[in-house]
Amino acid sequence: METVVSGIRSTGNLHLGNYYGALQNFIKMQHEYNCFFFIADLHSLTTHPTPADLHGNVKQVLIEYLAAGIDPEKATIYVQSDVPEVTELYLYLNMNAYLGELERATSFKDKVRANPENVNAGLLTYPVLMAADIIIHKAVKVPVGKDQEQHLEMARTFGNRFNRLYNHDYFPEPYAFSFGESLVKIPGLDGKGKMGKSEGEGNAIFLSDTPEAIRKKVMRAVTDSGPTVENQPKPQEIQNLFDLMNVVSTPDTVAHFDEAYNKMAIRYGDLKKQLAEDMIQATAPIRDRINAIANDAGYLRKVAEMGADKARESASRTIREVREIIGFRKF
Ligand code: TRP
């Protein structure tokens, strides 16, 4: 059976972008593949969270993985820092990751531009740690959003470079994967790009948001003053609302508002009300389960321990072989 690895950086509550971009793929894949889904807490250290925030964020993501429907009996769910073998492989891969290629990574350049006061080595080698996450389990499929494709290419580069250096056909090549024909992009509510936590307050709808919070955020979403001619192309902020509606509403609902827009009869207030209600309905089962699991410390501990054991079993096998290949030998 093919192996699948993916993770989400633990920076707090998950939003609709994480759900429709990644989690839904995780949930479908767990029935068909040997899946490892982890919480990337080591990656979250690049922004220096406090110990309390770090732990709270990991716990929240674990709760939301489970609430969204990842089954710990089917997939291996684990916390990245519970598997120290990953950091060992990261060190080995770092010896063959070149400064030039790391500096050229789009995500690195974006981070440098956004936070010029915190350009640390962990940020530079983020793709190396991500490659270690993936190839430690010899994964071939990685369900991720479109923005991660360059990182996947780097993971292939690092794995292949190891294979060539030691003249060993050891790590297979991992590829980005998505059910459905294209990798989905979920826009935010600010009228600009994708939904994200760092794009500002009110831009993201979280799985744990109350219905009231969802209504409030959607009603405040950016819109224009309306179409002035029939069948006018939609500006980005309006297209974004339609894109969101496409994900949570029925095709009939989308068609209704599309027609209203084309006839210049649209009332954005009505569209937003409908969008908010459909978002509330789409997330209701997850919200209920979040509330049910959140206080079950015993269950969370059991899931995390079981996942760490299974992940370490797989990771330590790889590390044993990698050490042998590299030439670490016993006297
Ligand atoms: N970089 C990914 C993101 O920001 C998170 C991640 C870290 C990841 N390691 C991974 C995803 C390994 C897939 C596989 O979304």
Q: What is the mean pLDDT of residues 215-236?
A: 96
Q: Is the predicted pLDDT of residue 199 greater than 90, yes or no?
A: no
| Domains of the chain with bracketed CATH | 3-177+296-326 (3.40.50.620), 197-291 (1.10.240.10)
- Mark whether 216 is an active-site residue: no
CA of 145 to the centre of ligand 1 (A): 9
Q: What is the pLDDT of residue 317?
A: 98
Poorest-confidence range of 95-109, 134-148, 175-189, 197-211? Answer: 175-189
Q: What is the pLDDT of residue 26?
A: 95
- Mark whether 197 is an active-site residue: yes
Helix (H) or strand (E) holding 78: strand 76-79
Counting ligand 1 atoms within 8 A of each CB, the residue from 15, 18, 33, 148 with the most, and so the one to mutate, is: 148
C-alpha to C-alpha distance for 301 and 62, rounded to whole angstroms: 10
Q: What percentage of the chain reaches a pLDDT higher than 90?
A: 91
Residue nearest to atom 6 of ligand 1 (CA): 7
Q: Is the predicted pLDDT of residue 103 greater than 60, yes or no?
A: yes
Q: Which of 74, 192, 194, 234 is catalytic?
A: 194
The verdict on the CB of residue 148 being under 6 Å from ligand 1 is: yes
CA of 7 to the centre of ligand 1 (A): 5
CA of 39 to the centre of ligand 1 (A): 9
Q: What is the pLDDT of residue 56?
A: 97
Would you say the C-alpha torsion 166, 171, 173, 176 has a positive or negative sign? Answer: negative
Q: What is the mean pLDDT of residues 75-83?
A: 98
List pLDDT tens digits, range 137-191: 999 999 988 789 999 999 999 999 999 999 999 999 999 998 775 556 799 999 9
Burial class of residue 133 in the structure, from the number of CB atoms within 10 Å of its CB (0-12 exposed, 13-18 middle, 19+ buried) = buried
Residue nearest to atom 8 of ligand 1 (CA): 7
The verdict on the CB of residue 133 being under 6 Å from ligand 1 is: yes
Burial class of residue 53 in the structure, from the number of CB atoms within 10 Å of its CB (0-12 exposed, 13-18 middle, 19+ buried) = middle
Annotated binding site for ATP: 9-11, 17-18, 145-147, 186, 194-198
Confidence of residue 6 (pLDDT cuts 50, 70, 90): very high
Confidence of residue 45 (pLDDT cuts 50, 70, 90): very high
Instruction: Kindly give the number of the ligand 1 atom that is closest to the alpha carbon of 145.
Output: 15
19: phi then psi, degrees, rounded to nearest 5: -70, -55
Per DSSP, the three-state class of 265 is: coil
Of the CA atoms within 13 Å of residue 137, those in its CB half-sphere come to 29
DSSP state of 10: -
Where do runs of H (alpha helix) occur along 249-267? 251-262
Q: Is the predicted pLDDT of residue 22 greater than 60, yes or no?
A: yes
Across the beta sheet with 76-79, the strand order is 76-79, 34-40, 3-9, 141-143, 175-177
Mean pLDDT of the chain: 95
- Mark whether 74 is an active-site residue: no
- The answer to whether 144 and 176 are in contact (CB under 8 A) is yes
Q: What percentage of the chain reaches a pLDDT higher than 70?
A: 98
C-alpha to C-alpha distance for 130 and 331, rounded to whole angstroms: 33
The verdict on the CB of residue 7 being under 6 Å from ligand 1 is: yes
Q: What is the pTM of this model?
A: 0.93
CA 290 to each of CA 6, 64, 285, 330: distance values in angstroms, whole numbers, following the listed order: 21, 6, 9, 49
C-alpha to C-alpha distance for 114 and 109, rounded to whole angstroms: 9
In our burial notation (b when 16+ CB lie closer than 10 A, e otherwise), range 209-224 reads: beeeebbebbeebbbe
Q: What is the pLDDT of residue 112?
A: 97
Q: What is the pLDDT of residue 183?
A: 55
The verdict on the CB of residue 61 being under 6 Å from ligand 1 is: no
List pLDDT tens digits, range 47-64: 999 999 999 999 999 999
Q: What is the mean pLDDT of residues 104-127?
A: 97
The verdict on the CB of residue 128 being under 6 Å from ligand 1 is: no
According to DSSP, the residues that pair with 248 across neighbouring strands are none
CA angle 33, 34, 37 (to 5 degrees): 105
The verdict on the CB of residue 17 being under 6 Å from ligand 1 is: no
Q: Is the predicted pLDDT of residue 321 greater than 90, yes or no?
A: yes
Q: Is the predicted pLDDT of residue 116 greater than 70, yes or no?
A: yes
C-alpha to C-alpha distance for 237 and 226, rounded to whole angstroms: 11
